[in-house]
Chain A
Amino acid sequence: MLRRLMVAVAVCMASLFVSSGAAVSAAGMDDASSPVAAKDSTSQSIFGTVRSPAGKPLAGLTITVTRGGKKVGSATTDNKGSWKIPVPGHGTYVVALDVGTLPKGLQVRTKGGETLGHVDVSTGEDQPVLFGLAAAGAPQEKSTPGATSAPASAAPTSEASGGDRTSGFGSRAMQLLIGGIEYGSIIAITAVGLSLVFGTTRLINFAHGEMVMMGAVVAFIMSTGSGGLPLAAAAVVAMIAVGALGAGFELVLWRPLRKRGAGLIQMFIISIGLSLFVRHVVLAFFGGRRRQYDQYAVQDSIRLGAIEITPRDLTITLISLAILVGVALVLQHTRIGKATRAVADNKDLAEASGIDVNRVILVVWVAGGALAGLGGVFFGLSEAVFWNMGFNLLLLMFAGIIVGGLGSAYGAIIGSLLVGLVAQLSTLWFSPELQSAWALLALIVVLLFRPQGILGRAERAG
């Protein structure tokens, strides 16, 4: 709920700035942000340029950044009106403009607009911030609580664990259970491809998260702005694009490498290089901000018995679960599904019985890629679209696959659902910032006691 409110506010603020003409702008960003050195990619800041409604840069204004009541830093605008305050890490900051330093005859346009309550900064990113100013005496617009410069977003959990819920433990647990199923099924549809690729080629594909991220980004580019497709159509385009990307990786990179007899460690490290490359190219050209899709960003939740869920989250959960059932049916009953399981079980034997192994592997890459792309769109919808989303999800996918049993597609599905549930339910007792840590701890615990996973065979753990 908190998140919905913040998104709504963000949308209001954005339209406000656009419609009321550029009294202020974050233009001049280029002179405000100093060049970022290569090794500085983990330093981040909040910056901006303050201009009068007439467009004149304002010098000598004091701006302070705080977090959790503690002061992080402050700055005074220079004669170009620019300011920049480095911040220690990613997180949400409060940025305040000291109205006492404003020149006579100017005031903040929005009442309470001198304090921006939720400025999200991601690691390595410089986050621009705007202060809207107007001539004194002009009617001040109504107060907007917690104005934000970028849509503040949070994992699906925080919706349920937000502080504004007063309901009891039982209903929170139910709410998180549903959130966990949604999160887990998103992890599962992305993890199926990763697991099948491992099963058929023994490749631990570190670049799988990047296929997820590419799906979200492609859908974002296709659906945003004027003339954008509806998100459902953009998601289909994203699935096709990422499926093609998977086929491309297989045909250009992995098949020739297998032909050369490349080692498993070698291919593993190659996939890490590929992942770093794709992720940072996207960071360079798409930027580091978290973004939301235009559609379905703000929705009223509906009540289903004891739980509240937005139509968006409900649709995501149902489609994901339907797809998982579909994948299981295809694997169990169709020719290509049986062939895939045969190759995963014993490649040489499958080849000897007349299965075209390379064709099976290509199909797995395309299908796995398309599912990863769709998972990316879902993840982007329920959380946000950003460059690092694939890598964040990748570790959870690995956790799901290992918990379920390495190499088994059914294991990947069950394990991912479990990991999603662990991540969400941990927020019942612990802070949401640690939910991924709990999911990864579950992975380590499973490795301790049952390294082959729930459905895996003991021999696989070697």
Chain B
Amino acid sequence: MMKILSDAIAGMLGPEAAIYALAAIGLNIHFGYTGLLNFGQVAFMLVGAYGLAAGVVTFGLPFWAGILIGIACAVVLALILGIPTLRLRGDYLAIATIAAGEVLRYVYRSGYAEPVTNGVFGLRQFADPFYAMSPLPDHDFDLGITTFSARNLWVMIVSWSLVALACALVYLLIHSPWGRVLRAVREDELAARSLGKNVYGFKLQSLVLGGVLGAIAGALLAINTQSAYPDTYDPKVTFYLYAIVILGGAARVLGPVLGSLIFWLILAFLGSFLRAASDAGVIPAEVLGSSAIGALVIAFVGLGLLLLMVFRPSGILGNSKEMRLDVR
């Protein structure tokens, strides 16, 4: 029982939760504040991760140059993706972005790209300078209920700090005139346009900004495991991010953070619980093998997203006056 609880807490505070929170903050700028149905957020994470990984491993650049390349790739991707699709209606944008994300993943894992991305084998060992910066002594840290290794704790500290910075940035931006225009675009594009605002330009800026946050999150995800594989960045990640944004409350500064904490708490709890039940023989192995547990946890995520959207589309922090998903 204690094991399940400590696993759940570790999942809630762990590096993944922080990284997904960061990517979700980016998505919240797109979806929550600008009303863009971007279903290709994972593509920004992919280019962010590979900018770093390929920059360091393939081209032998320093660590920080790799990070900057990742961010630059995200800006370029946002422009390439946004210029043709942002004039389209929302549902077209959703399909175009998810398709773009998949195309990118296919290309990164293909034989053609192997000289740069090493194909499905991925790239490894590119974040040593990041871990060398850690001031933490190299032993496990006992945080009462759970323990973290020094490396994990260092990633967590950096990631959660970036999350805090990103939240502050979003707060300031959204309460600036720029942010008010964004929300006007979301509420009524024609009205914003009739007031002389360049709606298209604002959408593009929003896409770039959220995409850069996604790229930083992608780079952190790669740093966390010291490895980058194309198949880590499949459309499921984007669906997770939507679940996080909606759970916390779209168009809320702290929505993605709260959403990520709860999402990973539930995910880690379920995984640990089902494994414990399986080990204890409560669930017979013939019914549910140990390898099926991961799949079942994702199934629960899907069910949770469905129920959340049916019964409480505004999430936990959501303000139904601020953003209404349930109107046509």
- The chain B residue sitting closest to A285, CB to CB, is B292
Is A17 an interface position by the 8 A CB rule? no
Is A284 an interface position by the 8 A CB rule? yes
Once bound together, how far apart are the Cα atoms of A287 and B291, in whole Å? 9
Contacts A/B (CB < 8 Å), 15 sampled: A35-B290, A38-B293, A38-B297, A42-B234, A88-B121, A262-B310, A279-B302, A281-B295, A281-B299, A406-B91, A431-B111, A437-B110, A440-B99, A440-B100, A443-B96
Interface size (A, Cβ < 8 Å)?
Answer: 71
Contact, CB under 8 Å: B106 / A437: yes
Binary contact track A266-277/B, C-beta < 8 Å → 1, others 0: 101110111111
- Please give, as numbers and ranges, the residues of chain A lying within 8 Å of B111 by CB-CB distance: 431, 433
Binary contact track B229-268/A, C-beta < 8 Å → 1, others 0: 1111011100100110010000000000000000000011
- Please give, as numbers and ranges, the residues of chain A lying within 8 Å of B212 by CB-CB distance: none
- Please give, as numbers and ranges, the residues of chain B lying within 8 Å of A433 by CB-CB distance: 106, 109-111
Q: A33-B290, A38-B271 are in contact. Are A72 and B121 (CB under 8 A)?
A: yes
Contact, CB under 8 Å: A88 / B303: no
Interface 9-mer from B56-64, B81-89, B136-144, B199-207: B81-89
Contact, CB under 8 Å: A264 / B91: yes
Interface 9-mer from B127-135, B151-159, B167-175, B319-327: B319-327
Is B192 an interface position by the 8 A CB rule? no
- Please give, as numbers and ranges, the residues of chain B lying within 8 Å of A398 by CB-CB distance: 95, 99
Contact, CB under 8 Å: A270 / B310: yes
Q: A90-B120, A263-B327 are in contact. Are A36 and B236 (CB under 8 A)?
A: no
B288-328 at interface with A (beta carbon < 8 Å): 288-310, 313, 324-328
Binary contact track A26-68/B, C-beta < 8 Å → 1, others 0: 0001100111111111100000000000000000000000010
Is A447 an interface position by the 8 A CB rule? yes
Is A399 an interface position by the 8 A CB rule? yes
Contact, CB under 8 Å: B306 / A270: yes
Contact, CB under 8 Å: A395 / B99: yes
Contact, CB under 8 Å: A30 / B285: yes
Contact, CB under 8 Å: B291 / A33: yes
Contact, CB under 8 Å: B103 / A441: yes
B7-39 at interface with A (beta carbon < 8 Å): 16, 37
- Please give, as numbers and ranges, the residues of chain B lying within 8 Å of A126 by CB-CB distance: 291
With contacts A38-B270, A262-B310, A277-B299 known, what are 7 further pairs, Cβ within 8 A?
A33-B290, A38-B294, A262-B326, A272-B302, A277-B306, A443-B96, A447-B88
- The chain B residue sitting closest to A447, CB to CB, is B96
Chain B nearest CB from A261 CB (Å) reads: 7
Is B178 an interface position by the 8 A CB rule? no
Is A125 an interface position by the 8 A CB rule? yes
Contact, CB under 8 Å: A268 / B91: yes
Is A451 an interface position by the 8 A CB rule? yes
Q: A264-B328, A276-B305 are in contact. Are A89 and B290 (CB under 8 A)?
A: no
Chain B nearest CB from A200 CB (Å) reads: 15
Once bound together, how far apart are the Cα atoms of A269 and B295, in whole Å? 20
Of the residues B102, B239, B275, contact of A35 by C-beta under 8 Å: B275
Is B164 an interface position by the 8 A CB rule? no
Contact, CB under 8 Å: B120 / A89: yes
Q: A36-B293, A264-B91, A434-B112 are in contact. Are A276 and B299 (CB under 8 A)?
A: yes
Of the residues B94, B122, B232, B301, contact of A276 by C-beta under 8 Å: B301
Once bound together, how far apart are the Cα atoms of A274 and B85, in whole Å? 26
Contact, CB under 8 Å: B246 / A269: yes
Once bound together, how far apart are the Cα atoms of A316 and B3, in whole Å? 53
Is B107 an interface position by the 8 A CB rule? yes
Contact, CB under 8 Å: B112 / A431: yes
Contact, CB under 8 Å: A402 / B95: yes
Contact, CB under 8 Å: A30 / B290: yes
Contact, CB under 8 Å: A266 / B103: no
Once bound together, how far apart are the Cα atoms of A270 and B243, in whole Å? 10
Once bound together, how far apart are the Cα atoms of A25 and B260, in whole Å? 43
- Please give, as numbers and ranges, the residues of chain A lying within 8 Å of B296 by CB-CB distance: 280-281, 284
- The chain B residue sitting closest to A277, CB to CB, is B302
Q: A280-B296, A402-B92 are in contact. Are A447 and B85 (CB under 8 A)?
A: yes
- Please give, as numbers and ranges, the residues of chain B lying within 8 Å of A21 by CB-CB distance: none
Contact, CB under 8 Å: A276 / B310: no
Once bound together, how far apart are the Cα atoms of A208 and B114, in whole Å? 34
Is A224 an interface position by the 8 A CB rule? no
Contact, CB under 8 Å: B88 / A451: yes
- Please give, as numbers and ranges, the residues of chain B lying within 8 Å of A281 by CB-CB distance: 295-296, 299
Most chain B beta-carbon neighbours within 10 Å: one of A126, A261, A272, A285: A272
Once bound together, how far apart are the Cα atoms of A123 and B235, in whole Å? 13
